[in-house]
Amino acid sequence: AQSVTQLDSHVSVSEGTPVLLRCNYSSSYSPSLFWYVQHPNKGLQLLLKYTSAATLVKGINGFEAEFKKSETSFHLTKPSAHMSDAAEYFCVVSSYGGSQGNLIFGKGTKLSVKP
């Protein structure tokens, strides 16, 4: 069975410092993995996705994530935080064992950015 664990429910950084949001996954299949961002009172926006090509995936707004099979991790990073990055971030694994392409969402990590 597939599952995803976001290791921090809340991360706080200062503007201009690096961002690290941690995600571990469990999957019986070769997984597809995603990061989505949700700004307050908005829907989710796809940041990036991994689908078994390059292990380092670049996304929008300067974010990237590295797929590490040996560590079953897919951590999201950004070299320098901006105030506009303050939002909630969801790590997601795609399950092909049940409903076609059903996504399993982590519980979210709320990122705060201090000036």
Residues lying near other proteins in the complex (CB under 8 A) = 32, 34, 41-46, 49, 90, 92, 94, 99-103, 105-108
In the complex, minimum distance from the CB of residue 33 to other proteins, in angstroms, rounded to a whole number: 11
Residue closer to other proteins, measured from CB, 82 or 107: 107
Residue closer to other proteins, measured from CB, 72 or 105: 105
Number of helices (H), then strands (E), belonging to the chain: the values are 0, 12
Distance between CA atoms of residues 86 and 100, nearest Å: 32
Residue closer to other proteins, measured from CB, 13 or 23: 23
Q: Are strands 87-95 and 19-21 parallel, antiparallel or unpaired?
A: unpaired
In the complex, minimum distance from the CB of residue 16 to other proteins, in angstroms, rounded to a whole number: 29
